[in-house]
């Protein structure tokens, strides 16, 4: 008789290229479950936008499983043990996650299952290479991206070919104890997500559609175009990758197939694959240095003189700093659950360097509001901006929000879209409206301090303060 397996969905909410599900389906009947377990998450319970995405992703997954997804809320270990007993299951399969608490939880659950004689297997479904596969010659993890990519990733070999969806799955039904997706309480007010819902569709089909659209419409020119927020030269695959609605192997091979190589310039493909590898680098850091989300990678930064200023923080969060490119980015986040990557660097630099506010505060805000909030990417990127991380931006690199706006949004299309009160202001003054003559401001309907705020700090003076603080730290 074929064995009966519980397959535990987590950050792998898809049917194709899902190695754990594939193996479970080959073995015999499958009880497909998702367990909403926030017991161990502490500071990193799912953010508001992530909860919206998860609700819709689970709904899409259930449909693709012909309404055979069982969802539960509570302790994963307790629920799994109960289901094994109730359905006389022989095995538990799941795909690996790399957050520190999941690693700890998985080890405990695996030990408990093996103690009861239950087969337990886990698989890699969310990375191109396991962190243990990309190491330096001495067996230690890389701390600098370029050698990680050039020496580590390439030596690890070409990622394996993605698996198809199982041809058939024989499902086990739990008719008594599972909950409806709505009962998980992920969405409390649908109206508050209208802006995000207009921008995004969740689920495996939406992920595949987006990959195809990116390749056909937005890939040519990616190398340069990805720096300009008004252009469409970004993949926007990050939330789908985080929730596992598409695998990085599917993306890798999708952009490397023969047909794509004929139509997409090599520089665009190379740049995009490097971005995929940066995601791998972030996960390698998280796996090998599990304190990354909260502790400075560079311990010297433990003595940095961060400031405390709630009014500064609130102005940054709401996009009311008086620097239009910063405000555009923060409002894009509030309205769409997303922010262009170039702008993420600009707003991040402004927070930690011009305002001298702790990178934790930016990390927490992004975690709650991004649909692609991902612990590895979020932690590594904020530490990069702050200068405290691995392979971090040097302390003297402070993004000037005026020149960044002028260079990367030269016609003001992006900024005016999200800061409409400045839409009539000539581009000459758009990124420094305080320099506009009074008659120009009046003609544009702009009253500084009323319709649009005065700049909250002087960029030159605040840059000097930041450099003084960093120099003092380096001498300490």
CA pair distance 370, 368, nearest whole angstrom: 6
User: Given the DSSP bridges, would you call strands 91-95 and 69-73 parallel, antiparallel or unpaired?
Assistant: unpaired
DSSP class of residue 217? I
Torsion angle of alpha carbons 346, 349, 355, 358, nearest 10°?
130
* Ramachandran angles phi, psi of 37, nearest 5°: -120, 105
Angle at 62 between CA 57 and CA 66, to 5 degrees: 150
Q: Structure tokens of 41? A: 């998450």
Q: Structure tokens of 215? A: 């390749």
Residue with tokens 């997804």: 69
367 a catalytic residue: no
Residue with tokens 């990069």: 384
Please state the separation of Cα 129 from the chain's center in Å. Answer: 18
Q: Structure tokens of 465? A: 């303060």
DSSP three-state, residue 70: strand
8 a catalytic residue: no
Write down the catalytic residue from 22, 129, 278, 316: 278
What SS3 string covers 256-324? HCHHHHHHCCHHHHHHHHHHHHHHHHHHHHHHHCCCCCCCCCCHHHHHCCCECCHHHHHHHHHCCCCCH
Q: Does residue 334 contact residue 16 with C-beta atoms inside 8 Å? A: no
302 a catalytic residue: no
275 a catalytic residue: yes
Q: Structure tokens of 412? A: 């003001």
- The H or E element containing residue 81 is helix 76-87
Torsion angle of alpha carbons 424, 429, 433, 436, nearest 10°?
-100
Question: What distance separates the 2 farthest-apart alpha carbons in the chain?
Answer: 84
384 a catalytic residue: no
DSSP three-state, residue 141: strand
- The H or E element containing residue 470 is helix 459-475
* Ramachandran angles phi, psi of 91, nearest 5°: -150, 155
Q: Does residue 159 contact residue 252 with C-beta atoms inside 8 Å? A: yes
Please state the separation of Cα 9 from the chain's center in Å. Answer: 19
411 a catalytic residue: no
Q: Does residue 420 contact residue 414 with C-beta atoms inside 8 Å? A: no
CA pair distance 273, 269, nearest whole angstrom: 6
Write down the catalytic residue from 8, 129, 359, 367: 359
Q: Does residue 21 contact residue 31 with C-beta atoms inside 8 Å? A: no
Write down the catalytic residue from 68, 133, 201, 306: 306
Q: Structure tokens of 67? A: 């309404």
- Residues forming the active site: 275, 278, 306, 341, 359, 382
């Amino acid at each position: 008789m074929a064995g009966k397996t519980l397959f535990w969905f987590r950050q792998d909410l898809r049917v194709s290229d899902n190695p754990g599900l594939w193996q479970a389906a080959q073995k015999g009947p499958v009880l497909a479950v998702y367990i909403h377990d926030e017991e161990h998450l502490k500071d990193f319970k799912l953010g508001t936008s992530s909860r919206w995405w998860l609700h819709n992703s689970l709904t899409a997954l259930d449909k693709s499983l012909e309404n055979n997804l069982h969802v539960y809320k509570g302790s994963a270990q307790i629920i799994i043990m109960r289901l094994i007993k109730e359905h006389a299951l022989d095995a538990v399969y799941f795909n690996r996650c790399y957050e520190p608490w999941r690693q700890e939880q998985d080890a405990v659950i695996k030990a408990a299952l093996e103690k009861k004689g239950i087969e337990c297997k886990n698989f890699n479904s969310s990375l191109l290479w396991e962190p243990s596969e990309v190491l330096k010659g001495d067996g230690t993890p890389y701390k600098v991206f370029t050698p990680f990519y050039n020496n580590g990733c390439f030596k690890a070999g070409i990622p394996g070919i993605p698996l198809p969806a199982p041809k058939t799955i024989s499902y086990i039904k739990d008719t008594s104890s599972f909950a409806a997706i709505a009962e998980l309480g992920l969405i409390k007010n649908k109206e508050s997500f209208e802006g995000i819902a207009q921008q995004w569709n969740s689920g495996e089909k939406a992920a595949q559609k987006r990959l195809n659209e990116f390749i056909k419409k937005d890939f040519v020119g990616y190398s340069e175009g990805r720096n300009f927020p008004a252009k469409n030269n970004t993949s926007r695959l990050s939330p789908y990758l985080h929730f596992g609605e598409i695998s990085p192997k599917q993306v890798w091979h999708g952009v490397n197939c023969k047909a794509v190589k004929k139509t997409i310039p090599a520089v665009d493909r190379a740049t995009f694959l490097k971005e995929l590898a940066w995601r791998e680098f972030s996960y390698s850091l998280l796996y090998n240095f599990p304190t990354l989300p909260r502790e400075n990678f560079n311990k010297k930064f433990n003595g940095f003189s961060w400031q405390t200023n709630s009014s500064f923080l609130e102005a940054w969060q709401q996009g009311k700093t008086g620097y239009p490119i910063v405000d555009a980015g923060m409002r894009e986040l509030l309205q769409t659950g997303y922010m262009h990557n170039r702008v993420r660097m600009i707003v991040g630099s402004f927070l930690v360097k011009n305002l001298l506010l702790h990178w934790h505060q930016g990390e927490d805000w992004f975690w709650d509001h991004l649909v692609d909030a991902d612990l590895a990417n979020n932690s590594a990127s904020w530490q990069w901006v702050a200068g405290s991380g691995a392979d971090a931006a040097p302390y003297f690199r402070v993004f000037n929000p005026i020149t960044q706006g002028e260079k990367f949004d030269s016609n003001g299309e992006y900024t005016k879209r999200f800061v409409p009160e400045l839409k009539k202001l000539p581009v000459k003054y758009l990124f420094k409206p305080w320099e506009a003559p009074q008659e120009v401001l009046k003609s544009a309907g702009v009253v500084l301090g009323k319709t649009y705020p005065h700049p909250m700090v002087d960029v030159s003076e605040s840059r000097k303060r930041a450099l003084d603080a960093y120099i003092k730290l380096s001498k300490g």
